[in-house]
Amino acid sequence: MLSQANRKIVLLELVIPIVLLILGVWQGLLQTLMRAGVIRDTAFGFDYYQGLTLHGVVNAVVLTTFFAVAFGNAIMEYYLKKKLNSTVNWLSFWLMLVGVLLAAFAIFTGRGSVLYTFYAPMIAHWTFYVGVTLLVVGSWVAFFNWFAPLRAWVKEHPGEKKPLAVLGMFATFIIWFIATVPVALDVLLLQLPQSLGLTPHINVSLSRVLFWFFGHPLVYFWLLPAYVMYYVMLPKLAGGKLYSDFAGRLVFFLFVLFSIPVGLHHQYTEPGYSREFKLLHGIFTFMVAIPSLITAFTVAATLEHGARRRGSRGLVGWMFNQPFFSREQWLFSYLIVGLIIFILGGIGGVINASYNINKVVHNTSWIPGHFHLTVGGPVLLAIWGMTLYMVAKLTGKTVQHKGLAVAVPWLWFFSMHFMSLGQKWEGILEAPRRTNMGLTYLNPDSPLFMPEWVLPSHMVAIGGILLFTTALIYFFVFFRTLAGQKVADPETTFEFPTGETLHDEKPGWVDKLKVWVVVSLILIAVAYVLPIKQAIDNSAKDAPPFKPDNPVPVVQMDK
Ligand code: HAS
């Protein structure tokens, strides 16, 4: 059960980003068509970098942050059975919303085309930075609001382990909080003053190292709510029991430890940081793959347990005896498809992390190929599935068109692999990850014609069209559900599917949040103190700003 005030806030936090996502996926479609040379980059009003910024900011930042806050708010009230302070929650909501509106102003007026990574020395209008800051601060406020109910719960349940879902969402926001402090420093001390014209130069190395201090943990902030669903909800939907409760707790613990001190793997090719630290960050990056590998085995064992209870025999029979297309357990399809997509997505990450291979793929189309299989796979499908589930429960309605609802993740699976494999193929052929020169490279009359990029770029465009069509089906199901008849009283019927545990081990130290934070801070200090010092001393500290205001000059090299 959720309190009335919290139900309203959570509903708004879920519906607003889904409405914005319509714009986000539309821009994604345009990217693929433009890069395949089908349309010019200004064909629909926005130029390439403006559209790419909108696509990245809405899909990767706004949707994920609003969802994590909404999901966390619901998890805390549901599992701790304590009311959240609704005044604080409204404050968090308004901060995030005003932040989004300010950033939208910069992007829509063409003064914020700095992409979701807002990389120095590119400089946007000040509203972009203030907007992003408010969005982050709003999410912090929501997080701080969870401590009082947790403390009260611990007091009332001495010696009991914390609910796994609660622990998972705390892990998500501990990572988020630690990681957003350096990017806040980057924005407030370096980027915003320059945007306001108060400082003539920016230290590019420092700004970038602070950004990636945040940028990689950011991806686990996106991923961990999905992991909460895999550990807590998937076992129930699969008709089994979570194989090991300890494994779940250990996984969240390892993410808090290793998801942060890894940012230099995004900067292997950049000067200014010593090789030893790049190597150290590379080693930590391999460590951060371990919790995902543990998850792969734990979830597989959980699925196997469910299937064997239903009578599956043989070594692999259980793999096929899953409710893949069940209308009753339609949420299962969103979670399982996300997991299957993550197999290739995760392997791509391990390839990127390898220092020597990274030089082949860095800044090529391979990278979007990797992240569409991660953030566009398990993360997006978990968000879509859980948003649909929660919105129906919060409004007392039933999900409409369940057949279509189940079709969405499977269509997404096919389309996403089609697009991503095209991107990876282009990337291996050295196509850049960002370019507004599609028509030039793909024009046989141009001296820059790259014939080998034609086929993969068309593959990407077909994948983009299929993905966009699938997204429209999801929006149809979502809004039909929202507009449907009320059939139950949301006051009493809200629930999360919650699985039992097969091996309910004693958690010991992995249940102690303070231990997590202390060890994490030690690893961060080891990994970051010297690279940040090197960045401060770096000779690139005097870069003048570059304002990519629209229209961005397009170099016409084909004549
Ligand atoms: Fe990444 C770049 C390395 C995971 C997102 N990554 C990016 C960027 C994004 C991103 C957005 O080391 C681009 C940033 C930019 O704009 O420049 N990534 C990794 C590694 C992992 C990884 C090692 N990435 C993610 C996740 C993301 C994400 C998750 C989003 C949510 N990534 C990199 C590196 C770069 C990078 C470099 C920089 C590249 C460059 O040069 O620019 C690991 O966490 C992956 C570990 C995962 C696995 C897979 C486990 C499999 C599971 C599924 C099991 C399936 C089951 C189903 C059980 C090892 C859990 C069974 C089914 C049955 C039917 C039985």
Structural domain includes residue 146: yes
Closest-lying ligand 1 atom to the alpha carbon of residue 304 = 65
Sequence-ordered list of residues with C-beta below 8 angstroms from that of 355, at least 6 positions apart, any chain: 268, 278, 279, 282
Q: How far is the CA of 396 from the centre of ligand 1 (A)?
A: 36
Structural domain includes residue 545: no
Structural domain includes residue 16: yes
Q: At 342, which helix (H) or strand (E)?
A: helix 330-353
Q: What is the pLDDT of residues 475-533, one digit of tens each?
A: 999 999 999 999 998 888 899 999 899 998 888 888 888 999 999 999 999 999 999 99
Question: Are 375 and 416 in contact, with CB atoms under 8 Å apart?
Answer: no
pTM, entire model: 0.96
- The neighbour count for residue 454, using CB atoms within 10 Å, is 16
Q: Is residue 549 over pLDDT 70? A: no
Q: Encoding tokens for residue 424?
A: 């990876």
Catalytic option among 170, 227, 370, 496: 370
Q: Encoding tokens for residue 9?
A: 């806030």
Q: What is the pLDDT of residues 327-376, one digit of tens each?
A: 999 999 999 999 999 999 999 999 999 999 999 999 999 999 999 999 99
Structural domain includes residue 550: no
Catalytic option among 49, 213, 220, 258: 220
**Per-residue pLDDT, 40:** 85
**Per-residue pLDDT, 12:** 98
Please indicate whether residue 310 is annotated as part of the active site: no
Q: Encoding tokens for residue 301?
A: 């064992």
Exposed/middle/buried for 451, CB within 10 Å: 0-12, 13-18, 19+?
exposed
In percent, the amount of the chain with pLDDT more than 90 equals 87
How confident is residue 546, by pLDDT bands cut at 50, 70 and 90?
confident
**Per-residue pLDDT, 438:** 83
**Per-residue pLDDT, 558:** 42
Return the SS3 of 5. Answer: helix
Structural domain includes residue 548: no
**Per-residue pLDDT, 559:** 39
Structural domain includes residue 186: yes
Q: Which residues of 456-494 are buried (b: 16+ CB within 10 A; e: fewer)?
A: bbbbbbebbbbbbebbebbbebbbebbebeeeeebeeeb
Structural domain includes residue 551: no
Distance between first and last Cα of the chain: 66
Which residue has the least CA distance to atom 7 on ligand 1? 371
C-alpha–C-alpha distance, residues 431 and 272, integer Å? 26
Q: At 503, which helix (H) or strand (E)?
A: strand 501-503
Structural domain includes residue 558: no
Q: What is the CATH number for 239?
A: 1.20.210.10
Closest-lying ligand 1 atom to the alpha carbon of residue 215 = 14
| Containing structural domain, residue 492 | 4-540
Please indicate whether residue 201 is annotated as part of the active site: no
Exposed/middle/buried for 414, CB within 10 Å: 0-12, 13-18, 19+?
middle
Which residue has the least CA distance to atom 59 on ligand 1? 346
Question: Are 272 and 538 in contact, with CB atoms under 8 Å apart?
Answer: yes
C-alpha–C-alpha distance, residues 236 and 131, integer Å? 39
Considering its fold, how many domains does the chain have in total?
1
Please indicate whether residue 434 is annotated as part of the active site: yes
C-alpha–C-alpha distance, residues 500 and 23, integer Å? 40
Which residue has the least CA distance to atom 11 on ligand 1? 371
CA 359 to chain centre: 24
CA 453 to chain centre: 29
Give yes or no for residue 283 CB within 6 A of ligand 1: no
